[in-house]
Structures are given as C-alpha cells and as structure tokens.
Chains A and B, each alone.
Chain A
C-alpha cells in the first residue's frame, strides 16, 4: 500500500484529490470537553514514545496553543516557496506528564494524597492556557479550537521529506507516512505550519493523525468526530455535492480553513465562532460590535471570514423572523447521521474501536 501510494501520490499533490475526505468543525458548538482528544488518545497514542502525542487537541483561543506559540513557528508556503519552520520540542507540546497513580490507587493513600503529576513541574500542556481568553470584563471572550492534521491538498510535510516517506493517498487525500522508511529526520515536522507532527522518541520516527483511515475504510467515522458529544464535527467527501461538507465549504462558504495564508490548502474547515453581545457601560446590549474582534477572526481564517459571518448572521435573522434556513438546519444537525454520511457505521458493528483500529 505504502509504495503504491507513494508513487501515485505525486500527481495528487496540489490538486484536490477526487474523494478527498474533509472535516468541518462548527466552533459555535464546541464546549472544550476534550472528548475528541481523549477518544484519539485512547485509540492511537497510548504506547511509550507517544505519551506526549495528542494528534487531536482542543486549544483555547486566543491563546498560545500547543505546541506553545505554534503560530510563530513558520513552515508552509509563501507564494509557493517553502518557508523555514521551527522544529517543536517535546516540552513545547507539553511533554507527557507522569502521574502518581500507584501512590493514590494502590498504596492506600487515596484519601490523603492528590492525584498529581510527578517529576519536573509541568510548565505547558495541550490546553495550558484554557479559559485565559482575551478582552476586559464584562466583555471578555474566548472560544475553543479543535486541532488535528489538516491533511492538506498541498502538504508541505510530504514535499519536505527527502526520503519520500510521506504521501497523500490518491483515493481520499489522507496524508500518511511509511514508518518503515522514516528515519526520524523530522523535516516534515519543521515544514508543517500547523505543527501537528510529533516525534516518537522510542520508535525514532515521526507520527501524526491518520484520520482514522482504518475506520473510514470500514465506513466508521474517525474517533474524534464519532465521540464528540457536541455533535459538531462533520466528516465526508469534499466533492460530495449533496452533503453538508460540500455545502458548508463551497455553497454557503461558512466553513473556512485555519490560516489559509500558510498556503497548504487545509482540508479541515471551521465554522467561525459567533459572539455573544457586548455589554455597554450602562449594562445594555451592544448589538453593533462583535465581542470577538473581527480582526482576530480574520487573522485566523483570512478575509473570507467577513462574508461567512454575514451569511451566518443573515440566516439567523431570517429564522428569527419566522423563515426557514437550510444552512442553520444543517448546522443544528437534527439527525446526527447527517454529520458522517457515508461513514455512519457503528464501531461495534465491526468489532469495537480497538478491532476497527487494526482494520479487521
């Protein structure tokens, strides 16, 4: 599979793969519960060497995220030219914390000792700056941003690997790595502008989100999406014109890639967060100025965010006036299956999450 994928992938880079699998996260529904992060963690990154790896993380914005200050780490492209990137350290990702499980659970100290990290005191983590946010009371603001590999159409990681160990699967555009051919050079992690590539310090290879491809191959949605209690994650084929992903990205243009200026054409999209109203000094509602500054959203999602917000607000206005909105119905998700079609099979049908992981 790897070899075929590697050669066939050359043609796919820079062009939307037919059947490109994409995801849309509606940030208006994300409550930062990290169920997605834990669903991914328990499925894929439990081994030693992966303890600090969180292929799926929910960052709080505004914030420095994980790895710390990743938006200042370069990578990606500017006018088609690869940009130098910084290799994130394990500490910048937050490291893998060890906890005093033995002490608390097995040494009879459950009532006297708190469960806590042992070893050097952690100074960063996957969502360290949670709820810090920005702005002044009573108009402070924050929102959550689930982040994973963007399975880009122009993946700078794939192009950066001098060994051709990475490739974009032609059938669905998922970005994968042939770990048998990876020598841990980590040019991929340097070149990735989203900083979602990790180094396995036991296997000495780089690793990243595989979009749960063994699940997708059996019609099961990725674990992060399937487990999301907020039902805010759409999964599907980008070119499937009758389904939500295509409509949200292309028809309504309310789902936008994060940092489009990175030039990699991400295939993970976000419905930007609407703001609660600001309060004026007299306590009355300020309906004119959004609480989350549009300049900030533009920095994240590019200039198209203005149109997206206008569309969302317009549709809400329409519904408030008694009208109907296909867009809002789609985002409300009356039937949860509509989130995942055609990947709606229950993991139980194929033997449970761990079985579907190994592709049986």
Chain B
C-alpha cells in the first residue's frame, strides 16, 4: 500500500480528521497468534482450547508530509475496553516494522533481528515506542516518541499511530519518502483477555511505499 503525501500530517493525529477520508485504505487479514508458540507453559496449557485473536481484519491507511507519518487503524469491536478491570484488559493495537528488513513477524523478531512496535493501548494517554527480539521481549526503547490516539464509536475503534519520519537509535525504523518499507499490524481484544502474545496479527509483512 501507499502512504499518501499530504500537506500536513499533524492534523491527521485525530482519528476523526476529515483528511483521512481522502486516503485510500487497505484491509489486512489478521490471524490469532498460535498457542503452541507462547512462551509460558501456563498460557500454553490454559489457552490450548481457547480462541486467540478475536479481531480478524483491520483497515489501514497511511499518510505523511515529508516530516511525519501517521497510520489510521480501524476495526470492528463491540466491546470498548479502556482499562484493566473485571478480569478484562484494555484494547490495544500496534504497527510493527522489521529491523534489518528481515525480522520474522510470527515471533515478533529474533535475538539478532529487532521488531519496532508503535504501540497504542486504550488506557494510556500516549503511544509507546517498543522494540522486541522475540515473543515476550517487547520493551520501551528511546530515540522516538509515538503519538497515539484512539476513538471508539458505534462498535468500531479508530486509532492513529504517528511518528516523525526521522528517528535516532538503531531500534527505530527508518522511513524515507520515495522508498518502500515493510510493516505489519497486531491487535489485542481486551474483552477476550488478550494481552502479551495472546493477540491477532498480520501473518506477513506488507509493503508500504511513501509517496515522493
């Protein structure tokens, strides 16, 4: 898909911004993270017969203005989970980027191949910039701040994740106008107690070309 060149990407930090309607969308299929790859024996045992990855499709739009890039993720969700409460978890989503261009998405990277994770969670004021080297290893990293804003309306989440194109630090993906990068999406459905590596994700990396 293409990240549309716009005059001002900052106005797109609002998921309801009218500008998003002019950006073409792509629908990406998601699958549940398999239970047998989970790092905890407790999780593997207890979730063996449970549904993992309730959200199976996400609409993605992307735009940039040469300085900043923004993603709009939209998906259907009957239950708006905005906090840790009553045995449920906040809904969450992330855009993933492979470091070195080669990190495996199914294991969220590997010891020698990082995945950069732009993370939004419904209970947090802002986004988080994470790096992972395999399942169960994602942690905050420096060099870039992720702006994130989510809005839930009529059974649908609309979430914007955004970052300046330039970012310091080896963990952070480099995005350049005119170039093509890989990305993926992952979503956690809080009402299904999805958290950690209990989530749905795009099984492959998708291409994203930033318009010149």
Contacts and interface: CB of A to CB of B under 8 A. Distances in A.
Contacts of A160: 40-43
Given A89-B85, A184-B84, A162 B196 contact: yes
Interface of B: 38-43, 45-46, 83-87, 123, 135-139, 193, 195-197
A199 B84 contact: yes
Q: Which of B40, B84, B135 gathers the greatest number of chain A CB atoms within 10 Å?
A: B40
29 contacts: A82-B41, A87-B193, A89-B85, A156-B42, A159-B40, A159-B41, A159-B42, A160-B40, A160-B42, A160-B43, A161-B40, A162-B38, A162-B39, A162-B135, A162-B136, A162-B196, A162-B197, A164-B136, A183-B138, A183-B196, A184-B84, A185-B195, A185-B196, A187-B40, A187-B42, A187-B196, A190-B42, A199-B84, A201-B84
The dominant DSSP class at the A interface is: loop
A1 interface: no
A160 B136 CA distance: 12
Contacts of B84: 184, 186, 199, 201, 204
A2 B39 CA distance: 19
B139 A181 contact: yes
Contacts of A181: 139
Q: Which of A159, A164, A183 gathers the greatest number of chain B CB atoms within 10 Å?
A: A183
Nearest to A81: B45
A184 B196 CA distance: 9
A33 B195 CA distance: 40
B152 to A, nearest CB: 20
A162 B135 CA distance: 8
Interface residues of A, number: 25
A84 B46 CA distance: 6
Contacts of A84: 45-46
Contact of A163 (B46, B86, B123, B196): B196
Nearest to B42: A160
A191 interface: yes
A86 interface: yes
Nearest to A181: B139
B148 to A, nearest CB: 16
B138 to A, nearest CB: 8
A204 B45 CA distance: 25
B86 A89 contact: yes
Given A160-B40, A162-B196, A86 B135 contact: no
B86 A162 contact: no
Contacts of B39: 162-164
